[in-house]
Amino acid sequence: MNQSSALTYLEEHQDRFQAELIELLRIPSISHDPAYKEDMDKAAGWLADKLRSMGMDNVEILPTSGHSVVYGEWLNGDTSAPTVLIYGHYDVQSAEPLEDWKSQPFEPEIRNDNLYARGASDMKGQTLAAVNAVEAIVKSETLPINIKFLIEGEEEIGSKHLNEFLIANREKLACDFSLNTDAGGMPDADTPSICYSLRGGAGFLLEIFGPSQDIHSGGYGGVIQNPINVLSKLIGDMHDEHGHVTLPGFYDKVRKLDEEERAELARLPFDEESLLKHSGAPALWGEPEYIPAERIGARPTMDVVKFEAGQLKSAIPAKATAWLSFRLVLDQDPAEVHGQLRQYLTTHAPPTVKWNLDFLGGNPAVITNRKSSEVLAMKDALQTVFGKPPIFQRVGGGIGAVLMFKQTLGIDSVLTGFSLDDNIHGPNEKLHLPTWKKGMVALIQFFHNLVDK
Amino acid sequence: MNQSSALTYLEEHQDRFQAELIELLRIPSISHDPAYKEDMDKAAGWLADKLRSMGMDNVEILPTSGHSVVYGEWLNGDTSAPTVLIYGHYDVQSAEPLEDWKSQPFEPEIRNDNLYARGASDMKGQTLAAVNAVEAIVKSETLPINIKFLIEGEEEIGSKHLNEFLIANREKLACDFSLNTDAGGMPDADTPSICYSLRGGAGFLLEIFGPSQDIHSGGYGGVIQNPINVLSKLIGDMHDEHGHVTLPGFYDKVRKLDEEERAELARLPFDEESLLKHSGAPALWGEPEYIPAERIGARPTMDVVKFEAGQLKSAIPAKATAWLSFRLVLDQDPAEVHGQLRQYLTTHAPPTVKWNLDFLGGNPAVITNRKSSEVLAMKDALQTVFGKPPIFQRVGGGIGAVLMFKQTLGIDSVLTGFSLDDNIHGPNEKLHLPTWKKGMVALIQFFHNLVDK
């Protein structure tokens, strides 16, 4: 089968695809803030219109208990051809701190081949890459496979209602596997990647209560302990001097890497220089007995994502609050980590304060089969288009959908993506447009490989 | 000399005095927030009008580089009579968190003999106690002494421009000593107090910089250290397990209490039960080898008053910030503490982050002569009115004016006040009205004692 007509179509419609992406990026679809509910609906509506206009069938905006899911399908492929569930999400993180953006986060701007906007890379761009690849084939030839689109609106808030949606729509979503372009992380524009491992996570809210209200630090300093000081100490002592998490039993269930995998990971381009350049940090950090690629992909972590306490006045505050985010690996269980954290606090929190710990949710890590026919189809497609084989990597983040698809729908995900160091979740998020286009070519190749094999 | 006519006047005008206090409390004169500049001027104007209306001479609102000083004088006393510089301040702390107030902070409300409002106790109430005592004498008899009022607008922001004002107005302010009713802290409504020692302080802004911008905690967790984790560790390690500050040399210059003073302090009613009741904390804390009154009055401390970092998203933030407030005692030098903190950070901050430390200002502790004639006059006045001698206490807070008056004008301050556990700087600040009135009676007695002796 020949995909030259789809590639011609892609070429001819590239300007429109780019204009459409900019349209979608203008919608501030921030899922965590109720103030943007209308924009969330607008983004879902935009995507449904897009799917309809390119000829998808049964396009629907399906409600969940939270933000809606956009669904569409094209089931005219050969009955022997696989059915692919293409995953995407239309929600984005908030854009704070706004003052650090060079251009406005929801007023996309192109500078040096890069399109700057919140969601450009994570993942409105990645979502439309898959959507456009399907459009190019459908509009120019015969799509050789069957497609179902599931584009959710809650990825950035933990895909809170996705699993109940999957349970309620199991039949509608029946398929062979999922394609997920949300697991990007190409080390550079010439090197494609496939992800086979995602870390899990567990989130907690930790509150330390001291005096019943803010009290004068002159009048009480020295006799009443400061909740900020206490929370700082508790957090500070959660790591030892070598970057290990000190919670009792935290590493007991961590699956060890075998030598073959360690050797493979050692070949990945996650070298110190590149990590320093991309992060801007003065030096790397972490467990010295593991290389950076292992620390990111195969070792658990604890980061405080927010610490909030006190005011600019001479007072010992009544309360100090921190939000803790653990990244977990196989075979850690978020509920057990919750227990370990609770145990740590019971042992270490002083009697001079009270504390409260809320478990905000968690999910285990997931690993997919690197030798399945669909992963090999992706590997070949990437090699064809980029001229060299993809690296196989463990990604440090998690994608709730991948786990839920596995647990609820019983399917694996082919995990790739065409993001570079795009500063997702941070200011000046960007998408490298030439790589985005190359990604669409690779996806067209991938869809063909699925039946050519 | 007999002060019965002043007391009669006080009695007859008590309702008006209370109404006037409520008027002044309605003005949100928050000095640290430029948004309240107009209210600051309004409060100064209100006080100038009050001083004029009660017959003070040369009443002026004198500009400084910051908020103005209200000045007024009554120099018709006998030439042999002392001249007293009465200190007060008309600015208040911000009222946040507003949701913790039972009534609005700038809509004074009386409940159970207590007047609730920001500034009721600290120190619009205390300021007007002295002003009203002078009015009562001036309007009903012959004031036996000379008076100068200096009411500043920057006490809550460290009396930033007071010293340059004192330097520029040394002659105008020439006097024998100062009366300062901002050093309250009566342990209960029956027990008056005189303060003879104030802690000093030093404030710092500490910033920890990690990645050049917020980065994804999945993609970088484990290789890039989190500035919140680092700042927490640095703060946590600034105390040992017994509540001692660990900065190198921090206690080297701390003046030791002699046995006589320890015995006196041991008699003060700063017992565990009362401190727990007033603070609402679950347990006391601090250096076990010192009793609470010593820890508050004679031992230095380090409190973080604010910690701000991160957001509710999965990111390692670029920066974490804390505001540190040290309380210092004799003979510690704020500049030396600055050096110690810098030394600690140089030694303890890891190479994975950069840091910045700003010294926000500081002042040494101050001790006044407990045996001066004016302190004895106050002691006798309090004993006469309250029926028992005042306790002599070391106060944990600092009052910049006391130090500046000593250093720039060369005068001591008589330090008293009529605040109870009034939750100054916190929500639901209050003033106990019967104690306020008793305080005015005591001040009338004090002014007479100054010449009767």
Task: Give A104-165 as a DSSP string.
Answer: -TTS-EEETTEEESTTIIIIIIHHHHHHHHHHHHHHHS---SEEEEEEES-GGGT-TTHHHH
High-pLDDT (> 70) share of chain B, % = 99
Check residue A2 and give its pLDDT.
55
Per-residue pLDDT averaged across A274-301, rounded? 94
Cα distances (Å, whole numbers) of residue A43 to A129, A160, A168, A430: 16, 18, 23, 19
CB count within 10 Å of CB A242 equals: 10
pLDDT band at A183 (very low <50, low <70, confident <90, very high): confident
Distance CA B42, CA A3 (A): 78
CA-CA distance, B161 to B154, in Å (whole number)?
A: 8
pLDDT at A398: 82
Q: Is the pLDDT of residue B246 over 90?
A: yes
Query: Which of A394-403, B62-71, B166-175 is the least confident region?
Result: A394-403
Nearest to residue A182, comparing CAs of A446, A439, A452?
Answer: A439
Of A20, A5, A2, which is closest to residue A436 (Cα–Cα)? Answer: A20
Specify the pTM. Answer: 0.81
Helix (H), strand (E) at residue A309? strand A301-310
Is B10 in a helix, a strand, or coil?
A: helix
Q: A282–B96: do the CB atoms touch at under 8 Å? A: no
- CATH of A202-254+300-363 among 3.40.50.2300, 3.30.70.360, 1.25.60.10, 3.30.300.30: 3.30.70.360
Q: Is residue A212 over pLDDT 70?
A: yes
pLDDT at residue B39, as a whole number: 98
Interface of B with A in 136-175 (CB under 8 A): 156
Pairing of strands B413-415, B177-180: parallel
Q: Of A219, A280, A304, which has the smallest distance from its Cβ to B213's Cβ?
A: A280
Q: CA B278 → CA A229, A289, B57, B290, B439, distances in Å?
A: 20, 51, 42, 20, 22
* Residue in B223, B315, B352 nearest the CB of A292: B223
Touching check for B332 and chain A: CB below 8 Å? no
Whether the CB of A225 is below 8 Å from some CB of chain B: the reply is yes
For residue B400, name the pLDDT band (cuts at 50, 70, 90). confident
- Closest residue on chain A to B241 (Cα): A350
Which DSSP helix (H) or strand (E) runs through A383?
helix A373-386
User: Mind telling me how many Å the CA of B377 is from chain A's nearest CA?
Assistant: 26
Domain boundaries, chain B: 4-198+365-452, 200-254+300-363
Cβ-Cβ contacts under 8 Å, B325 against chain A: 217, 221, 314
Supply the CATH classification number for the domain B200-254+300-363.
3.30.70.360
Q: What is the pLDDT of residue A59?
A: 98
8-state DSSP, A406: I
What DSSP state is assigned to residue B358? Answer: E
Instruction: Kindly provide the b/e burial profile for residues A99-121, where b requires at least 16 CB atoms within 10 angstroms of the residue's own CB.
Output: eebeeebbebeeeeebbbbbbbb
C-alpha to C-alpha distance for B70 and B59, rounded to whole angstroms: 7
Q: Give the type of residue at A317.
A: P
Nearest to B279 among A100, A215, A282 (CB): A215
* CA-wise closest residue to B151 among B422, B364, B401, B377: B401
Strand partners, B203: B325, B361
Statement: residue B453 has pLDDT above 60: no
Which of B100, B239, B327 comes nearest A217 by C-beta? B327
pLDDT tens, position by position, B62-104? 999 999 999 999 999 888 899 999 999 999 999 988 999 999 9
Distance CA B88, CA B126 (A): 8
| pLDDT surpasses 70 at A267 | yes
Q: Which amino acid is at A83?
A: T
One-letter amino acid for residue A166 of the chain: L
Nearest residue, CB atoms, B279 vs list A211, A350, A351: A211
Asked, colleague to colleague, whether A4-198+365-452 and A202-254+300-363 share their fold, the answer is no
A222 confidence band (pLDDT: 50, 70, 90): very high
Q: Measured between alpha carbons, how far is A26 from A16 in angstroms, rounded to an integer?
A: 15
Chain A window 242-281: which residues touch B at a Cβ cutoff of 8 Å? 243, 270, 275, 278-281
pLDDT tens-place string over residues B12-28? 999 999 999 999 999 99
Q: Which helix (H) or strand (E) holds B218?
A: helix B217-220
The whole-angstrom distance between B322's CA and the closest CA on chain A is: 9
What was the pLDDT predicted at A3? Answer: 62
- Pair A235, B320: CB distance under 8 Å: no
Considering only residues 42 to 81 of chain B, which have any Cβ-Cβ distance to chain A shorter than 8 Å?
none
pLDDT at A184: 67
pLDDT band at B269 (very low <50, low <70, confident <90, very high): confident
A34-48, A235-249, A255-269, B295-309: segment of lowest average pLDDT: A255-269
Picking from B221, B225, B425, the nearest residue to A396 by CB comes out as B221
Strand, helix or coil for residue A3: coil
DSSP state string for A249-291: TTTTTPPPPPHHHHHHHHHSS--HHHHHHHH--SS--S-TTS-
Mode of pairing for the β-strands spanning B193-198 and B391-395 = parallel
The ipTM of this complex is 0.81
| Minimal-distance CA residue of chain A relative to B325 | A314
The H or E element that residue B72 is part of is strand B69-74
| pLDDT, tens only, A361-377 | 888 999 988 889 999 99
Of the candidates B167, B13, B154, the one whose C-alpha atom is nearest the C-alpha of residue B70 is B154
C-alpha distances in Å from residue A354, one per residue of A207, A211, B282, B341, B374: 8, 10, 7, 29, 46
**Cβ of B100 under 8 Å from any chain A Cβ?**
yes
Calpha distance B300→B324 (Å, rounded): 13
Write down the pLDDT at residue B289: 96
CB distance from B184 to chain A under 8 Å? no
DSSP β-bridge partners for residue B179: B86, B414
How many Å apart are CA B228 and CA A322, to the nearest integer? 10
Which residue out of A224, A238, A246, A332 would a mutagenesis test of the B interface target, given it has the greatest number of B Cβ atoms within 10 Å?
A224
Give mean pLDDT, residues A222-242.
Answer: 97
**What are A160's two structure tokens?**
């809170």
CB of A304 within 8 Å of a chain B CB? The answer is yes
A173 token code pair: 């979503």
Whether residue B3 has pLDDT greater than 80:
no
**Record: contact A281-B211, CB cut-off 8 A:** yes
Tokens of B352: 């994975």
Nearest CA in chain B to A200: B218
Q: What is the mean pLDDT of residues B215-235?
A: 95
**Mutation for testing the B interface, residue in A245, A246, A314, A358 having most B CBs under 10 Å:** A314
A35 touches chain B (CB under 8 A): no
Contact assessment for residue A229 and residue B234, using Cβ atoms and an 8 Å cutoff: no
| Mean pLDDT over each residue of chain A, to the nearest integer | 94
In angstroms, the CA A39 to CA A50 distance is 16
Is the pLDDT at B2 greater than 60? The verdict is no
Residue among B156, B327, B353 whose CB faces A221 most closely = B327
Transcribe B240-303 into DSSP letters.
-TTS-B-STTTTTTPPPPPHHHHHHHHTSS--HHHHHHHH--SS--S-TTS-HHHHHHTS-EEE
3-state DSSP call for residue A55? coil
Q: Does position A231 have pLDDT exceeding 90, yes or no?
A: yes
Nearest by CB to residue B224, choosing from A226, A279, A317, is: A279
CA–CA min distance B70, chain A (Å): 24
**Radius of gyration (C-alpha) of chain B in whole angstroms:** 23
Does residue B4 surpass a pLDDT of 90? no
Q: Smallest Cβ distance to B396: which of A218, A295, A315?
A: A218
CATH number assigned to the domain with residue range B4-198+365-452, chosen from the 4 options 3.40.440.10, 2.60.120.620, 3.40.718.10, 3.40.630.10 = 3.40.630.10
Q: Name every chain A residue with its beta carbon within 8 A of the beta carbon of B320.
A: 307
Contact call for A223 and B428, based on CB within 8 A: no
CA distance A132 to A21: 10
Cβ atoms within 10 Å of A434's Cβ, excluding its own: 11
Beta bridge mates, B362:
B202
A353–B282 CB contact, under 8 Å:
yes
Q: How far is B282 from chain A (nearest CA, A)?
A: 5
Residue A1 burial by CB count (10 A; 0-12/13-18/19+): exposed, middle or buried? Answer: exposed
